[in-house]
Structure 1
Amino acid sequence: MDKHAHGHGRPPTGLEHSRTAVRVALPLLLAVALLTGLGLALLWPNAGEAAKVIERVPFAGPGTIFVEGEVVSVDTGCGDGTQPRTGAATPGADPDRSCLTFGIGITSGPDTGRVIDVPARGSLASSGLQPRDTVELLGAPRAEPPAGDPRAPDGAASERYSYSISGIHRGLALVVLAALFLVVLLAVGRLRGLLALGALALSGGVILAFVLPAIVTGAPGALVGIVGSFAIVFIILYPVHGPNLRTTAALIGTLCGILITAGISTLAVQATRLSGLGDEAAARLSGVAGSIDFRGMLTCAIIIAGLGVLNDVTITQASAVWELRAAAPHLGRGEIAKRAMRIGRDHIASTVYTIVFAYAGASLGVLILLALTDRPLLSTLTGDDLVTEIVRTLCGSIGLVLAMPITTWIAAAFLPPVETGTETAAQLE
């Protein structure tokens, strides 16, 4: 009876592996983990410097207050706030539905109990605000409060601030959505789902505690992206997927994919002359946080953006290799790798267009605007916004595609050799 027949239908145990590959891979991984820790130590942002940058980014002017309010009415069109709110359009004119006037009762702050008219355009006018919705109001102090106002309960004192809507309270809807996500994840994923939540929290901690402050204080974006991504995969992979050779193969493939993506994206950002200021947030940052290397920040964003999909592909490939060995213990490493590559090609095909669709969806407004602009295709590629998304998609896809065969062959190298004397060992090993 074949010595490996007992393994049919289950993955090999931790002892059934290629000792040579393990002896090479584990010290290498240990060295990479130590280098990652060293990188974290060297690049860890100085709290004092980060605080100075935060001080230079005022969210609002001096004397500004934030209060809560409740929508009591929604009228079509925008007035000057001095006319009665009737909700009727001016006779003989079409109602201006691009601007709405919200009647808002202030529920906190010095003007509690007062009802004000607040005109709103753009996203606020299109948000679907209804009576009884709660909003946040920004109160800017008036230079010279007017004399007593008959509409206000307290005259001049109640006109110390001029209010505008600064946000919508969406807490309840978000809590319900998050609860639904948790129920579905834990019901289907069970322990793995719970571990994935913990991994998500740890990943968020790395990004918030290390990546963002390091970028803000001027650290090289590519290095921050590599070190931060390495730290994330080291932290999450073994706890979520188990400390075994299958996970180790996926880990090595993921690290290689990160390095490939970092290298390609650094070259691509330079070659396409991207500024890193292609979106509104980056443009605003450039005015208040001059220490940021925006091209490096873009490179870091490309690395981190592809991390989740990259890890998905490497874990799937490593699992495919092990499952193939469990189903066919007589097959050698070469044949298993070839079959796993066929699985990987299907996975890669679907994953690449998934990435493209995700980026297209995120940039749909930009794409529509470009489609409506009567310009040649090459001419449209001069703008940072569209080129940024193209570079992000292509660089992430290159790292993803190359990580697949790397993971497959590493996982196959970890498999135990087929015993000499089995039917097909000579041909397959």
Structure 2
Amino acid sequence: MHAWPASEVPALPGKGRDLRIHDTATGGRVTLDPGPVARIYVCGITPYDATHMGHAATYNAFDLVQRVWLDTKRQVHYVQNVTDVDDPLLERAVRDGVDWTSLAERETSLFREDMTALRMLPPQHYIGAVEAIPGIVPLIERLRDMGAAYELEGDVYFSVESDQHFGEVSHYDAEAMRALSAERGGDPDRPGKKNPLDPMLWMAARAGEPSWGGASLGPGRPGWHIECVAIALDHLGMGFDVQGGGSDLIFPHHEMGASHAHALTGEFPFAKAYVHAGMVALHGQKMSKSKGNLVFVSALRRQGVDPAAIRLSLLAHHYRADWEWTDQVLQDAVDRVGRWRAAVSRPDGPSADALVEEIRDALADDLDTPTALAAVDRWVERQRTEGGTDEGAPGIVSRAVDALMGVAL
């Protein structure tokens, strides 16, 4: 599966800061020191609807992580998956009377278009669950053969008791885990499971649903969590720098994925930091495909909304915050991009050297984009009210905003 084209990242004078970021597993900030190549895995979409603003906010956060790393003169090895076979996708295809593969291809294509428009840097490896199945099956067989998995009526489940570190990503108690498992694709009430929280690794073939040959597992398809583990281990290995996604993936997805990897390798940790973006609401409720309260990036683009304004609307909120999308949020971003473009189109202005360092400092401090935006706003206001004589300043501001925040002026 191919990703989307990369936008150019302008080079800036000087060097960025090492990133300090909130790690869900430790509950505090950690300073990431990845070495010359930073490794990041971000969980991708299930393509039965294209990019809504909640998706965009998540991918914006991890685009910023990459940009901070690139500014430190590191390379970035970024991997993202596409869950191109799963229950929600199959259910939507049946509802709409379309082939599930066509639906997945259509929505993945639209997602690529949205990411390109928003200037999100693409992953080096963009892997669909279906194409990863040949690598997933041997991992499930290994877990079963080592006693970390078991069969139940043809399905194969992972035993959470096989990982001594289970629970160390989310730190949720058993009651919360059970409730979230039921809410987010698990089956804690199924009779016969060793532990209600045990997640499915391999679903035996069901009538009318796609399946693949699973060697000794029999025909079926993989569970959600093992998909990402197989892809991450194949392309990044254990101990990569950041596992990223929305806060709704903390449990069960990231918790279970970490446990799968620990059991498979005998190593710890799966990722050095677990980083999670907040949720975006509409009309008082989290944007959700099941609720249908969605604002789509593609719909805004069709309405003529500037992608730079869409991106600025995301950047106006701290990535870990839960916030609500409103018409005013978008209008504020439209106004801001207008002010910024007017400023960088002028022939000179106040020196921008200090501004570049302010942006770097803010982003290195747990991706503090509201502070970074406020710094640019102050420079723009100074130029408007005081002027300046630095002919290179507008160009530096334009390049810094693009390189560090992905906003093309």
Answer 1 or 2: which has greater helix percent.
Answer: 1
Q: Normalising by structure 2, what TM-score?
A: 0.24
Higher radius of gyration, 1 or 2? 1
Q: Normalising by structure 1, what TM-score?
A: 0.23
